[in-house]
A and B are shown apart, each in its own frame.
Chain A
Amino acid sequence: MQRRFITTLLISMALVSLVLAAPAWSAKTVKVGFVYIMSGPFSAYGQFAKKGAELAVDEINAAGGINGHQVEAYFEDSTGKPDVAIRVLRKLVFQEKVDFLIGLDSSGVANTVVPSIPQMKTPLIITHAATPDVTGKVCNRYVFRISVNLPQNVKAAAMLAAATDAKTWTTIGPDYAFGHQSWEYFEKYLKELKPEMAFLPKADVAFPPFKTTDFNPYINKIMQSGADGVLVSLWGGNLIDFVRQGQEMGFFDGKRQVLMTLGAATEVLSALGDKMPEGLWVGTRYWFLANSSQRNQDFVKAYFDRFNEYPSYNAHGAYGALYTYKAAAEKAGSVDKEKVIDALEGLTVELPVGEITIRPEDHQALSDVSWGQTAAHSNYPIRILNPVKLFKAEDVTPPVAESGCQK
């Protein structure tokens, strides 16, 4: 008697839940997986990306979603390690069954992970990792990048360097691919512009290990070297420590030209406040005040209203990537992965940073690069860039033949 009662109860519960779940089955959602560094010393970048992504998801869903379907976002932590990144990417593709992937902060992780993406048959837009290899040596059909990459940013630096009167250049950069490649490309591009320019040899330049917190020995080395131009490719916490310690040591006394390829990152400017010297040329991947378009103003205002801070480049990267996906899906008329890839190639879309076009041959986006001189401004608690110099995409992007991409 009791057994029959329980069986009936269970069966009716199952039926009821089936009926209630039915509407959920019929409403298809578009699933997007985001993979960024969410923990450890660089978790700031993942947090920024998550904020940008959440803003984009809410805006897009409020406007009807992608091709009429609501967007569901899944966030995973790459922890900055390639094996973890591959594991979470696989989880997103095979378990959560996402339609699209966005992410990757670390160039090291990107280099290792990108060759595995074709097996997952899911398109990935990279929004931060700047190594030229992901749209070069290891490029493939499924991987795109909408953010400014290393050669583009460094070419702009070289163009700025050529316009100064510095005659001998040295560098200080983190001791991994990013630091070394920044210097390699800088030397190459600057030599093309000014063949008589001199560069310090390997033994005299400074590549502090990533975990360095004490830059004094390196600052000392550069000040002693006699170079009158310095390319600084340090970023994040390294750059904050370097600028503070450099100030104390008199590094910014005007005896040398200093170019900081990632000095305009908002997390660096916020932490440094008044300690960031004025008049330094700094670059970034997105500067929130560079573009006066309505699209950018709306984005900056919406971001500031929601998060009470100005959007960093990583926030813009995730935000822009989702809108790029939306544009591609609309152009293709579907979220089928292969059709979206075909739509992405050659796509032009307006993002807060400006209008970008994705080059079909190597999947690198062509977008303008902004550099500027640091300046104080009464309206803002951080240093802003004034003047801002905009480098057109055509002038700074290496031609496809140079990229090394063979799809």
Chain B
Amino acid sequence: MESFLINLLNGLSWGMLLFLISLGLTTVFGVLGILNFAHGSFFMLGAYLCMQIMHIMPSFWSGIILGPLVVALLGVVIERMLLRRVYGRDISFQLLLTFAILLVLDDAVRIIWGPGYHVVEPPALLSGVFTIFTRTYPVYRLFLVIAGPLVGLALWLFFQFSRWGKIIRAAAMDREMAEGIGIRVPLLFTAVFALGTWLAAFGGALAAPHQSLAPSMGERIIIESFIVVVCGGMGSFPGAFAGALILGLFESFGTVFLGSAQMAVPYILLAVVLLIRPYGFFGREV
């Protein structure tokens, strides 16, 4: 029984982390129409900057608040100077550009912080363990299970009900019409890209106490977030939530029941979804 609970918590905490990161990816795609390959690198930067800020101000909270903000600023610069030029162009331009950004960021991290491993300590409030029957479980992972949906809910409420949320959705639906009625679409796009980047970096900072930091740590995340976004429906919030949850739980329970086949689970899921329901669980035909 306790083993089941532990696996459940594992799946939920990993799923929620994946949800936050995939949310950034799906928002950027939904609004800007850009598939950002470098999303995983922003995740990595969020983790590294959190670590670096903690060297100056030894509080995890300062790291997790300031780090993603700095990365979001970088996102603004990248959007204005680079991504702007490939809007509306062939998708291969976007893929090449974002892939190039990924390579540059990965190597930049390696040059600045060195190739070795770094670790980040969880904050005192969230470190330590609690007991489930006879087993212990880290408090920090429970925090992840809660933090993910909270942030996701806040964003969903923003997009559904606030004025700015509606403006963004309008610009996403029909860019020319939105510009026609006076919405400054380019500025909006920059803001949304910064938001997407912030989400990735925030996910990275959240993940930092949980795993060691090394260059190219975004590699796995980007593949899994792509799978979540495709399975959930590109541009869909509930889709990202459902997709991440399912993937997290499958991976967690898969290690128990599937043995070495567990590695194939994300890809099998992707293949099945693409065959049965190509627009994803919650996707709409565009």
Chain A contact residues, CB within 8 Å of chain B: 39-44, 46-47, 175, 202-203, 206-209, 211, 213-214, 216-218, 220-221, 223-224, 236-237, 240-241, 244-245, 248-250, 267-268, 270-273, 275
Q: Are A46 and B115 closer than 8 Å at their CB atoms?
A: yes
Most buried by A among B6, B117, B256: B117
Q: Are B135 and A218 closer than 8 Å at their CB atoms?
A: no
| Nearest-Cβ distance from residue B58 to partner chain A, whole angstroms | 15
Alpha-carbon gap, A272 to B253, bound state (A) = 28
In the complex where A237-B212, A248-B136 touch, is A47 in contact with B7 (Cβ < 8 A)? Answer: no
Q: Are B119 and A43 closer than 8 Å at their CB atoms?
A: no
Q: Which 6 A-B pairs have the closest CB atoms?
A: A43-B115, A248-B138, A217-B255, A213-B211, A271-B117, A240-B212
Partner of B215, one of A41, A217, A244: A41
Cβ-based interface call for B188 (8 A): no
Q: Are A213 and B138 closer than 8 Å at their CB atoms?
A: no
Q: Are B214 and A237 closer than 8 Å at their CB atoms?
A: yes
| Nearest-Cβ distance from residue B6 to partner chain A, whole angstroms | 5
Alpha-carbon gap, A218 to B259, bound state (A) = 10
Cβ-based interface call for B284 (8 A): no
Alpha-carbon gap, A336 to B119, bound state (A) = 47
Q: Are B7 and A217 closer than 8 Å at their CB atoms?
A: yes
Given A43-B110, A250-B136, 19 extra CB contacts under 8 A:
A39-B110, A41-B215, A44-B114, A44-B214, A46-B115, A47-B114, A203-B259, A206-B255, A213-B211, A213-B212, A214-B14, A217-B10, A220-B10, A223-B135, A241-B211, A244-B119, A248-B129, A248-B137, A270-B116
Cβ-based interface call for B217 (8 A): yes
Pairs A–B under 8 Å by Cβ, sample size 25: A44-B114, A44-B115, A47-B114, A47-B116, A175-B260, A175-B263, A202-B259, A203-B259, A213-B212, A213-B217, A216-B6, A216-B10, A216-B252, A217-B7, A217-B10, A217-B252, A217-B256, A224-B3, A237-B212, A237-B214, A240-B117, A241-B211, A245-B138, A245-B210, A249-B129
Interface residues of B in 1-34 (CB under 8 A from A): 3, 6-7, 10, 14
Chain B contact residues, CB within 8 Å of chain A: 3, 6-7, 10, 14, 106-107, 110, 114-119, 129, 135-138, 140-141, 207, 210-212, 214-217, 219-220, 251-253, 255-256, 259-260, 262-263
Alpha-carbon gap, A215 to B218, bound state (A) = 17
Chain B minimum-CB-distance residue to A209: B263
* Chain A residues, CB < 8 A from B207: 213
* Chain B residues, CB < 8 A from A203: 259
Alpha-carbon gap, A221 to B256, bound state (A) = 7
| Nearest-Cβ distance from residue A306 to partner chain B, whole angstroms | 16
* Chain A residues, CB < 8 A from B263: 175, 209
Chain A minimum-CB-distance residue to B134: A250
| Nearest-Cβ distance from residue A34 to partner chain B, whole angstroms | 16
Alpha-carbon gap, A214 to B141, bound state (A) = 11
* Chain A residues, CB < 8 A from B107: 39
Chain B binding surface SS class: helix
Q: Are A44 and B116 closer than 8 Å at their CB atoms?
A: yes
* Chain A residues, CB < 8 A from B10: 214, 216-217, 220
Chain A minimum-CB-distance residue to B258: A203
Chain A minimum-CB-distance residue to B209: A244
Alpha-carbon gap, A208 to B3, bound state (A) = 18
Chain B minimum-CB-distance residue to A275: B119
In the complex where A39-B110, A41-B214, A43-B215 touch, is A207 in contact with B117 (Cβ < 8 A)? Answer: no
Alpha-carbon gap, A398 to B251, bound state (A) = 39
Q: Are B259 and A271 closer than 8 Å at their CB atoms?
A: no
Alpha-carbon gap, A267 to B14, bound state (A) = 26
In the complex where A175-B260, A217-B7 touch, is A211 in contact with B117 (Cβ < 8 A)? Answer: no
Chain B minimum-CB-distance residue to A212: B220
* Chain A residues, CB < 8 A from B14: 214
* Chain B residues, CB < 8 A from A46: 115
Alpha-carbon gap, A321 to B115, bound state (A) = 23
| Nearest-Cβ distance from residue B69 to partner chain A, whole angstroms | 24
Q: Are B7 and A220 closer than 8 Å at their CB atoms?
A: yes
Chain A minimum-CB-distance residue to B251: A217
* Chain B residues, CB < 8 A from A220: 3, 6-7, 10, 256
Alpha-carbon gap, A267 to B118, bound state (A) = 10
* Chain B residues, CB < 8 A from A221: 255-256
| Nearest-Cβ distance from residue A346 to partner chain B, whole angstroms | 37
Q: Are A249 and B211 closer than 8 Å at their CB atoms?
A: no
Q: Are B216 and A40 closer than 8 Å at their CB atoms?
A: yes
| Nearest-Cβ distance from residue A312 to partner chain B, whole angstroms | 10
* Chain A residues, CB < 8 A from B7: 217, 220
Most buried by B among A206, A217, A221: A217
Q: Are A271 and B219 closer than 8 Å at their CB atoms?
A: no
| Nearest-Cβ distance from residue B219 to partner chain A, whole angstroms | 7
